[in-house]
């Protein structure tokens, strides 16, 4: 289990995927009302913003440079 967790902090692709999943999951929880952030003074649209930001974060391998 420890090597699996260590991989998230040493492998850039895994770390970006973890951040993306966290943003998408938190945004969905806020948007659906499962996570009440209004008591913290966070605006209602923050869930949608987190989902949008999670969509912008790239996951997976980067494209190879074309040309050289």
Which pTM value belongs to this model?
A: 0.71
Q: Number of structural domains, the chain? A: 1
Q: Using the structure block, give the residue that is written with the tokens 């902090």.
A: 9
Per the domain annotation, does 67 fall within a domain?
no
pLDDT digits (tens, 9 = 90+) for 16-63: 888 899 999 999 999 998 988 888 888 889 999 999 999 888 755 566
DSSP state of 35: S
Per the domain annotation, does 19 fall within a domain?
yes
For the record, the structure tokens of 10 come out as 């040493």
Domain of 44, in residue numbers: 2-56
Mean pLDDT of the chain: 82
How far is residue 32's CA from residue 53's CA, in Å, rounded to a whole number?
17
Per the domain annotation, does 18 fall within a domain?
yes
Split at pLDDT 50, 70, 90, the class of 64 is low
């Amino acid at each position: 289990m420890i090597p699996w967790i260590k991989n998230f902090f040493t492998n850039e692709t895994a770390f970006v995927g973890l951040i993306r999943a966290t943003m998408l999951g938190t945004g969905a929880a806020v948007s659906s009302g499962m996570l009440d952030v209004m008591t913290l003074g966070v605006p209602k649209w923050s869930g949608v913003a987190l989902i949008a930001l999670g969509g912008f974060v790239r996951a997976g391998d980067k494209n190879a440079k074309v040309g050289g």
